[in-house]
Structures are given as C-alpha cells and as structure tokens.
Amino acid sequence: MAVSGSQLTRIGAAFSGVSKKLTITAKAATEIAGGITIDVRAALLAYGDLAALVGNRIYRVRLPDNPTYPCILFRATEEPEVTLGGASAVQHFEYEFEIYADDFVQLESTALQLQNAMETGAFKAIMVDFNDDNFIDSSRVHGIYIDYSVWQ
C-alpha cells in the first residue's frame, strides 16, 4: 500500500505535538530516506559471516509465517536532525533489530555477526541498546533485541 504525501501530512497533523518520531514502513523509509533502508539490508546481506548464518532471511517490519531460524527482523524509525540553523541534510535513523534462533549458541553467533556487519558498513552505526537472550514460549525460540543509530 503506497502512502501519498497528503496522507503523510494528515498523519503528521494528527500526531503533531505528541511525538516528532514517525515509525515508517520499509517502502516509505526507502522512498523518504533515499535508500538508507536498502543500504542497511544490503550491507547485512553482503557480510559473508552473517549471510552464512541467516542466508537472505533478513526481513523488514514482520516475519513471514513459520520462519526458518536463525533470522533477523528490523524496523526503521526516522530521527530528523534539527539544529538552531534548521534541518540537517544528514540522514539519521534508529534501527531496531530482532534476532531469532532455535538455540542460544546460534543466537549469540548471529548477534555477533550482526554487530560486525553494522560496524563495517558504509554508514556510521552506533549500538544504543542490547537486550540479551529472551525466550519466546509461544514459538519456542530465543531472541535478542539490538538497537542502532545509523547516519549517512
């Protein structure tokens, strides 16, 4: 579903004053940010040690039904940079990564390779939060949640 400029304006007006953060879909993130979402996913897929663990199982916004593990889910949140001089041309997003795996060793290996991939990308990425080993009873998998600030 495409979001028109007028729809974004109405959405923005509805939330004006509540929050300046706008969580956006993967397609909107790509269109609005000039491709920063694709750059992050491409960097992850291109990182050989991570790709050896997850293949192409790096998903935006939601996991497929009955996913194969390990896999990575991510969301992008736009964080506009505004200074006293006005809006900055710097692209800044917060990325929330969720890593899921069948066992703890696989989970830790995937998390380490995600960290290596994010820190060697063509953008500036800083880890801002790390929530270690969560077990999800309903799906019987382990999860780690890692947040990054990404600039380009």
Q: Is the pLDDT of residue 126 over 60?
A: yes
Taking CA 8 as the corner, what is the angle to CA 3 and CA 10, rounded to the nearest 5 degrees?
Answer: 125
- Angstrom distance (rounded) from CA 84 to CA 16: 20
- Angstrom distance (rounded) from CA 23 to CA 79: 9
Q: Mean pLDDT over all residues of the chain?
A: 75
What mean pLDDT do residues 84-109 have? 86
pLDDT, tens digit (0-9, with 9 covering 90-100), for 5-43: 444 444 344 333 333 333 334 444 444 444 555 577 888
pTM greater than 0.85 (yes/no): no
